[in-house]
């Protein structure tokens, strides 16, 4: 047999006996359990997205492992983020979701408790790019403040807002309202999770909170309807007003200077990765790819989309590579802008 034919036969034999990477991944995941860490308590928007992903992603992962949600609330999702980065196994059996602003917090490295580098996570994707969502300042209709003008009136009554934790994204948004948009606000931090915040609003302990429209649609769909308890006063994370809320201006509209508007656009970049999912660093490349592909496949699945429609949540997914691109874009923010953003987040942290 000619030498070339012998080499070809050997190569074909090697291919025949070597398992395909997909088989390796399937063998690894078969019979295993994946923990999906939700860095908030049950009942809020991140929990809603985490649970719908957990229900559907397993059938798209080779080997079809069982996916179980593990709630890990604390410090505005910082506890769960640090856990994923520092403690969770790096073999592809754990991934999770945390606050959209954790990437920016990690880049700024504000606070001693930040124990992660956002560029080193194994990014899986984001369930929504906020194409059909909006982050809202919502107030009870019987709150003393009724309008933007009243909210900005010197010496007027403050808007009393609740927050899940000091340094959380809701807290930072409240500081943005106060320092950049001129609102008279007072924040009551320390509510344990979103469901407790909702209860505080219902009891009249606070005037309102900041929350995603999709979260309200999923958990309190009656609140923004005619005759409902709440009204939307300001929108964040959007360049234009959401079609369902034409009377609520965007933060960019309310910016008092061009410089402030530019900073708001930068700080709103994380909304494009608004429900991020990531695994720890150094997950084996074939398993990371399997999780990334399964994530995107699940978000196109008719059963997944039907469940999302019932919940009223926005599904406009982006993949892990796009998440990394957006974080890289944030990292390129000019130093003088980062200083102002850092001051905002530091103020939110107390």
Q: What is the CA radius of gyration of the chain?
A: 22
DSSP 8-state assignment for residue 296: H
**The total number of residues written for the chain in this structure:** 350
Render pLDDT for 278-306 as a digit per residue (tens, 0 to 9).
999 999 999 999 999 999 999 999 999 99
Contact status, residue 40 vs residue 47, Cβ threshold 8 Å:
yes
Which range is least confidently modeled, 5-9, 75-79, 118-122, 229-233?
5-9
Residues 285 and 317 in one domain: yes
Q: Indicate whether 161 and 184 sit together in one domain.
A: yes
Domain holding 222: CATH number? 3.40.190.10
Task: Judge whether 122 lies within some domain.
Answer: yes
The answer on 66 and 86 residing in a single domain is: yes
Q: Which helix (H) or strand (E) holds 181?
A: none
Its domain, for residue 95, covers 19-130+272-338
Do 145 and 220 belong together in one domain?
yes
- CA-based nearest residue to 295, from 131, 121, 47, 128: 128
The dihedral built from the CA positions of residue 339, 341, 343 and 346, taken in this order, carries a sign that is negative
Residue 21: the pLDDT is 57
CA nearest 103: which of 120, 89, 90? 120
Please say if the pLDDT value at position 236 is more than 60.
Answer: yes
Which one of 241, 269, 297 terminates a domain?
269
Beta-bridge partner residues of 319? 125
Question: Which pairing describes strands 122-126 and 94-97: parallel, antiparallel, or unpaired?
Answer: unpaired
Render pLDDT for 244-279 as a digit per residue (tens, 0 to 9). 999 999 999 999 999 899 889 988 988 999 999 999
pLDDT confidence bin for 350, thresholds 50/70/90? very low
Phi-psi region of 58 (alpha: psi -120 to 50; beta: other; left: phi over 0): alpha
Residue 325 within any structural domain of the chain: yes
State how far the alpha carbon of 297 is from the alpha carbons of 1, 59, 83, 225, 319, in Å: 47, 10, 27, 33, 10
What average pLDDT does the structure give for the chain? 89
For residues 155 and 103, membership in a common domain is answered with no
| Same domain? 142 vs 231 | yes
The reply to whether 151 and 242 lie within a common domain is: yes
Pair (119, 145) in one structural domain:
no
């Amino acid at each position: 047999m000619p030498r070339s034919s012998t080499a070809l036969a050997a190569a074909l034999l090697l291919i025949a006996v070597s398992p395909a990477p997909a088989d390796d991944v399937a063998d690894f995941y078969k019979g295993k359990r994946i923990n999906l860490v939700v860095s908030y308590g049950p009942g809020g928007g991140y929990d809603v997205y985490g649970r719908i992903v957990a229900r559907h992603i397993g059938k798209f992962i080779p080997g079809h492992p069982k996916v179980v949600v593990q709630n890990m609330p604390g410090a505005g999702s910082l506890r769960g983020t640090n856990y994923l980065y520092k403690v969770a196994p790096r073999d592809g059996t754990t991934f999770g979701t945390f606050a959209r602003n954790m990437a920016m917090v990690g880049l700024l490295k504000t606070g001693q408790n930040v124990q992660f580098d956002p560029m080193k996570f194994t990014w899986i994707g984001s369930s929504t790019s906020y194409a059909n969502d909006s982050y809202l300042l919502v107030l009870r209709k019987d709150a003393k403040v009724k309008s933007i003008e009243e909210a900005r009136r010197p010496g007027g009554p403050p808007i009393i807002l609740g927050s899940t934790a000091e340094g959380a994204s809701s807290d930072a948004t409240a500081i943005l309202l106060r320092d950049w948009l001129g609102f008279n606000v007072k924040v009551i931090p320390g509510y344990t999770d979103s469901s407790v915040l909702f209860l505080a609003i219902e009891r009249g302990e606070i005037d309102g909170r900041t929350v995603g429209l999709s979260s309200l649609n999923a958990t309190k769909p009656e609140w923004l309807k005619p005759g409902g308890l709440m009204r939307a006063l300001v929108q964040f994370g959007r360049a234009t007003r959401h079609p369902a809320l034409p009377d609520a201006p965007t933060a960019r509209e309310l910016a008092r200077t061009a410089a402030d508007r530019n900073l708001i656009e930068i700080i709103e970049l994380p909304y494009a990765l608004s429900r991020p999912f990531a695994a720890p660093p150094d997950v084996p490349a074939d398993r990371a790819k399997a999780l990334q592909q399964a994530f995107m496949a699940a978000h196109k699945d008719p059963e997944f989309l039907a469940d999302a429609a019932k919940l009223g949540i926005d599904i406009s997914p982006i993949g892990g590579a796009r998440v990394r691109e957006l974080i890289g874009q944030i990292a390129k923010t000019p130093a003088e802008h980062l200083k102002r953003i850092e001051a905002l987040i530091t103020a939110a942290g107390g």
